[in-house]
Amino acid sequence: MDRLNQLSSLFSSSSSNLHEYKIQISTFLIGILFAYIFLHRWNQRNIKGPKSWPIIGAIIELQMNLHRMHDWLTDYFVESKTFRVQLPNITITFISEPANVEHVLKTNFNNYPKGEAFHELMEGFLGDGIFNSDGEMWRRQRKIASLEFASRNLRNFSTTVFRDYALILSGILHQASICGKEIDMQAKEMIGYKPEDLESFTAKVTQFASLLNYDSLAKLSYLHATITETLRLFSAVPQDPKGVLEDDVLPDGTKVRAGGVVAYVPYAMGRMVYNWGPDATSFNPDRWFNKDGLFQSESPFKFTAFQAGPRTCLGKDSAYLQMKMTLAILCRFFNFHLIPNHPVNYKMMTTLTMEHGLKLTMTTRQS
């Protein structure tokens, strides 16, 4: 019996030793883990941009700010012209300084393609078209498209088409103004209207529109500045990522690694005091005029709404023509009123889109 007691106490003491041993190992491992996390964070104490965690990087902070991502990036750009966002599978270097943007979009253009990830993501939607290809495939399409966009015939034809569509839109808005109906300017909204109600209005608008052509629209420099100022603050493509083929060093000394992503951020660039002066966040079309009162364009590496370098938007002139044609007619014949308390904020997409549309009422201008 004694022997049995001895054995059982030996057994229970060795099992409690094992238990203690396990606790010690666990405490040790947890200690190492905390020390690792602490060191990881400590090493980042001087880093600009969001701090990252081991393995998951900055994904939590990014997720929490996804609905306001352009403004989240803008806040970091105020602290630093270049910063990195570490994600589990990729490092994105965000840039806002014109010298860096010029390097990526022009000087070392071949090192910063759209990249395989973007190509795969957009393939279903864009195929292998000019927007979604790199290398020789892009070069060939760009050459052909450049010739087409430069054609005078296309320009004259599109002027007529833009005028016709602006007239149709003004007819719809006139009807809405009569009914006091709200219109969502972002949606392709149509309301039924009877052309006979509109005859004298239509005659006036048509007569005015007949004065608008490529040359007369080119003289509307304040309208041109107003559109440009709108795109400075609300770029249609608010951030534009590029792949990195080989390790490189940006002009400000930032190292970028092959396989990573570099993104310039027109939305944030337009709001930086170091790019636009102390009134950077104010809407001020006057900033586009020089002291002689002439429209003064800016470096495309600073005003990046249309990208810059070899992949500059091919439709820039056409886009201005359409916007000026439409706005010249609408602003001449209507006053627009935002629906009170209508929330105007963006939703996260490749292009800047309003989450709740843009709800307006309108009245006709009688003068």
Q: What is the nearest approach in angstroms of ligand HEM to the Cβ of residue 304? A: 7
Q: What is the nearest approach in angstroms of ligand HEM to the Cβ of residue 146? A: 9
Which CB atom, from 86 or from 235, has the smaller least distance to ligand HEM? 235
Q: What is the nearest approach in angstroms of ligand HEM to the Cβ of residue 131? A: 5
Q: What is the nearest approach in angstroms of ligand HEM to the Cβ of residue 322? A: 7
Which CB atom, from 84 or from 311, has the smaller least distance to ligand HEM? 311
Which CB atom, from 233 or from 236, has the smaller least distance to ligand HEM? 236
Which CB atom, from 184 or from 317, has the smaller least distance to ligand HEM? 317
Which CB atom, from 47 or from 319, has the smaller least distance to ligand HEM? 319
Q: What is the nearest approach in angstroms of ligand HEM to the Cβ of residue 345? A: 19
Which CB atom, from 120 or from 197, has the smaller least distance to ligand HEM? 120
Rounded Cα gap, residues 33 and 45, in angstroms: 19
Tokens found for residue 169:
């839109």
Tokens found for residue 201:
């209005």
Closest residue to ligand HEM, judged by C-beta, is 315
333 φ/ψ sector (left φ>0, alpha ψ -120 to 50, else beta): alpha
Rounded Cα gap, residues 83 and 346, in angstroms: 23
Q: Which residues bind ligand HEM (CB under 6 A)?
A: 130-131, 142, 145, 231, 236-237, 240, 305-307, 311, 313-315, 318-319
Q: Return the closest-CA partner of residue 106 out of 254, 299, 318, 236.
A: 299
The answer to the question of whether 313 is labelled as a binding residue is: yes
Q: What is the nearest approach in angstroms of ligand HEM to the Cβ of residue 306? A: 5
Residues belonging to the binding site are: 313
Residues belonging to the binding site for heme are: 313
